[in-house]
Amino acid sequence: MKNKLTVGILYGGKSAEHEVSLQSAKNVTDAIDREKYEPVLIKIDKNGNWGLPLEDLAKDQAIVDVVFPILHGPLGEDGTVQGLLKLSDIPFVGAGVAASAVCMDKDIMKRLLRETGLPIVKFRLLHSGEKFPAYKEISAELGSPVFIKPANMGSSVGISKVNNEDQFLPALNNAFEYDSKIMIEEFIPGRELECSVLGSGSQIETSVVGEIKPSHEFYSYDAKYIDEEGAELIIPAQISTETTKRVQELAVAAFKTLCCDGLARVDFFLKEDGSVIINEVNTMPGFTRISMYPKLWEASGLSYTRLIDRLIELALERFEKEKKLKTSV
């Protein structure tokens, strides 16, 4: 009689964040409770080839009971894999198709947050093929400096901080290497805060709030994953009780607005006047032992191993609820 659940650890992916996923997958595999779960590693290489055929994952083959898709960025965190697993009738950890797609696309995400009345940074959208605006025009609209980033990417890949006209065109071209739609955003002077969210439906919890102090000009890919001294993580953040409560309330509001499920990390700016602005929402944030999402939960009393356990429980609970829904009249 089977007494362990088989968990497919899906990692890698055809994304610029491939290496980040490898780190996350290794840490999850090392920390997962082996008395409850049997991990099966399923790698997607950079060409999109799977380590196991999809038919081998199907429930009638009994290869896996649930999938933990530790994939970051496009073709993994954007709803594509989530849709594939849903069509295959396989439970999976994290946000569903809609929330994954919406949160991956910073343009759509920010417009939905704005529609709900939640505070966001000012931005301008630019599509591939459009005439580039002059830096003078952008600085008049959004101020200077500005951030330029691909609309669909994470881990600070393709992001540039632009301080003058000479940096503007190279930054636009760099961002367009990763996406056909890019964001030009105002620079918010202030502190960078992050809050982890866990749960589903009406049962949503928030972690303590953490602060990131980059030693680089901003929290770049190198600062996150290459330079060991790229940033200082302060957990909990040294902020007032009122600000902590405000960040946690906004994190839950963003989580609900974007129809998230399971987990998300919500990133904020704390302005000099004390107001809080939502930067973005990540539905599958970095999940290594030193990543902010699990570290915030650890500081809140939830261990890395128990966090993995809870996420799998949430995935199975959602799957059972969805099975009871009618699919025909």
Beta strands 37-44 and 231-234, pairing class: unpaired
Residue 147, pLDDT > 80, answer: yes
Residue 8, pLDDT > 60, answer: yes
Q: What is the CATH number of domain 5-93?
A: 3.40.50.20
Which residues are identified as catalytic? 17, 155, 225, 265, 267, 280, 282, 286
Give the side-chain half-sphere CA count within 13 A for 238: 4
One-letter amino acid for residue 244 of the chain: T
The predicted model gives 35-46 an average pLDDT of 94
Question: For the chain, which residues make up each domain, given as ranges?
Answer: 5-93, 102-119+189-310, 123-186
pLDDT tens-digit series, residues 114-124:
999 999 999 99
Residue 227, pLDDT > 60, answer: no
pTM of the model: 0.90
DSSP letter for 134, please: P
Residue in 180, 210, 176 with CA at minimum distance from that of residue 195: 210
What pLDDT shows up at residue 214?
Answer: 80
CA 310 vs. chain centroid, Å, equals 18
Question: Band of the pLDDT at 51, cuts 50, 70, 90?
Answer: confident
pLDDT tens-digit series, residues 271-301:
999 999 999 999 999 898 889 999 999 999 9
Residue 316, class by beta-carbon neighbours within 10 Å (0-12 exposed, 13-18 middle, 19+ buried)? Answer: middle
Of 17 and 84, more confident? 84
Q: What is the CATH number of domain 123-186?
A: 3.30.1490.20
Q: What is the CATH number of domain 102-119+189-310?
A: 3.30.470.20
Which token pair is 98?
Answer: 């809609």
% residues pLDDT > 90 (the chain):
78
